Amino acid sequence: MTTTTPTLPPVDFAARLSGRAQRMTVSAIRELLKLTQRPDIISFAGGLPAPELFPLADIRTAANAVLDRYGPAAVQYGTTEGHLPLREWIAARTPGLTPAHVQIVTGSQQGLDLLGKILIDEGDVVLVEAPTYLGALQSFQPYGPRYVDLPTDEHGIDVDALETVLKATPAKLLYAIPNFQNPTGRTLSLERRRRLVELTAQYGVLVLEDDPYGKLRFRGEDLPSLYEIALELAGGDPEGSHVIYSGSFSKTLVPGLRDAWVQAAHPVIEKLVQAKQGADLHTPIFNQMIITELVGEVLPRQVELVKKAYGERARDMVARIEQHFPAGVDFTTPEGGMFLWVTLPEGLDTTELFPRALERGVAYVPGRPFYARGGGANTMRLSYSNATPAQIDSGIRALGETIRGALD
């Protein structure tokens, strides 16, 4: 719909879009989340960290300290690789790692995009969990991957099925969220982690380990990351790891400063630096300096605070689900993170159910968009991170009624 004077011919923008742009789609969730922002709706839909836990006073102190200490350098152009003290802090978490193995990115989403950009050619096979993080699918999609779904169960990716896939299909990349996965909340078992790392190494497939929630374990024991396992198998040499690790401060500190990182072997980081330079020159230096102020004392305290709160909320939601949902509904019991996953009896469709849930004042995310290759019509993602006990009680009750209504 263009209106023009006779002096300029109308512009047909659609005809000028790249193939890449044509592969991009409007996020179903994005459109849907707009509906859930009504104040009368209890929303378990968004993946928002609890804002009442944000360390606002510390952020204020840090912002002022950074301006005092660095002066104009806090708001001048910075280096593409990122603020060195922050990269040093990140590298120091893993023996053998140096700042040269760390690239700061503007939120882990940027890491996914840049890694897609430097790794995925049109038609390249990318192995993904079924279901997986929708935002990763969105990041990779413009680059034209061919997704192959990896079946998952309560312990994460089925590694026997993975081996079958690897034998049959030459793949470029495996994308996985081993800890408290988005959307399922599931955690990949230690045995499967080892097997996944070995199998992918054997078949020459790079692994992108996305770990935004790893520090937020509120039950059970921490497991080594895929990256740590690969590093161990490579004799501690980061150059020998075929696992690329994506970490973030969005879920442990705050998301709105957009600070995250990628750690990987030099050849990956070198190319990532080039990609990043073309993409946005560098992540805001002021924000990186603020985060650096916080990682020492505030971060560990925040992690404890957030874990405790999310643990209580998860327990609460599970208890209410047991109380209010009808028989035949399955759900996951996460050991950390922000999400749990609900599977309704076959034949129900959570997309169709959504308007009815909204009528009852509750929102969730229908599961279908999390499947790269379709499926999951009877699934939904619930987030407990940003809900009070009262909201969990009445929201889950309303959702139970919605499900019961659909079963009648």
Site for its own copies in 312-341 (CB under 8 A): none
| Strand 260-263 to 102-105 pairing | antiparallel
Q: Does 303 bind its own copies (CB under 8 A)?
A: no
Counting every residue written for the chain, the total comes to 408
Phi, psi of 3 (to 5 degrees): -115, 125
Pick between residue 234 and residue 317 the one whose CB is nearest to its own copies: 234
Dist. CA 356–CA 375, nearest whole Å: 21
- Give residues 241-280 in contact with its own copies (rule: CB under 8 A): 241-242, 254-258, 265, 267-268, 271, 274-275, 277-280
Q: Please select the residue that binds its own copies; options are 87, 215, 217, 282, rule is CB under 8 A.
A: 282
CB atoms within 10 A of CB 241: 29
Task: Give Cα separations from 107 to 93, 104, 346 (angstroms).
Answer: 19, 9, 37
Instruction: Build a one-symbol-per-residue string for 156-175: x at contacts with its own copies by CB under 8 A, - elsewhere.
Output: ----------------x---
Q: Select from 44, 23, 20, 110 the least CA-distant residue to 364.
A: 44
Q: Does 308 bind its own copies (CB under 8 A)?
A: no
Which one of the spans 70-78, 162-170, 337-345, 356-364 is the region binding its own copies (CB under 8 A)? 70-78
Min CB(102)–its own copies separation in Å: 16
Min CB(174)–its own copies separation in Å: 12
Q: Does 344 bind its own copies (CB under 8 A)?
A: no
Min CB(16)–its own copies separation in Å: 6
Q: Are 137 and 128 within 8 A, CB to CB?
A: yes
Q: Which residues pair with 174 in a beta bridge?
A: 127, 207
Pick between residue 271 and residue 356 the one whose CB is nearest to its own copies: 271
Min CB(80)–its own copies separation in Å: 8
Residues 6+ apart with CB under 8 A from 18: none
Min CB(221)–its own copies separation in Å: 24
Task: Give Cα separations from 236 to 2, 95, 198, 206 (angstroms).
Answer: 60, 8, 15, 18
Q: Please select the residue that binds its own copies; options are 39, 72, 123, 347, rule is CB under 8 A.
A: 72
Pick between residue 70 and residue 89 the one whose CB is nearest to its own copies: 70
Q: Does 39 bind its own copies (CB under 8 A)?
A: no
> How many chain residues bind its own copies (CB under 8 A)?
100
Q: Calculate the CA 61 to chain-centre distance.
A: 29
Q: Calculate the CA 334 to chain-centre distance.
A: 15
Q: Please select the residue that binds its own copies; options are 82, 94, 113, 384, rule is CB under 8 A.
A: 113
Which one of the spans 73-81, 158-166, 366-374, 392-400 is the region binding its own copies (CB under 8 A)? 73-81
Task: Give Cα separations from 38 to 45, 46, 324, 362, 372 (angstroms).
Answer: 12, 13, 24, 10, 29
Pick between residue 258 and residue 320 the one whose CB is nearest to its own copies: 258
Q: Is the Cα dihedral 97, 288, 258, 316 positive or negative?
A: positive
Phi, psi of 326 (to 5 degrees): -70, 165
Q: Please select the residue that binds its own copies; options are 222, 237, 352, 359, rule is CB under 8 A.
A: 237
Which one of the spans 74-82, 156-164, 298-306, 345-353 is the region binding its own copies (CB under 8 A)? 74-82
Q: Please select the residue that binds its own copies; options are 128, 148, 162, 230, rule is CB under 8 A.
A: 230
Dist. CA 241–CA 222, nearest whole Å: 21
Pick between residue 303 and residue 407 the one whose CB is nearest to its own copies: 303
Residue with tokens 């889950």: 396
CB atoms within 10 A of CB 389: 12
Pick between residue 114 and residue 342 the one whose CB is nearest to its own copies: 114
Q: Does 31 bind its own copies (CB under 8 A)?
A: no
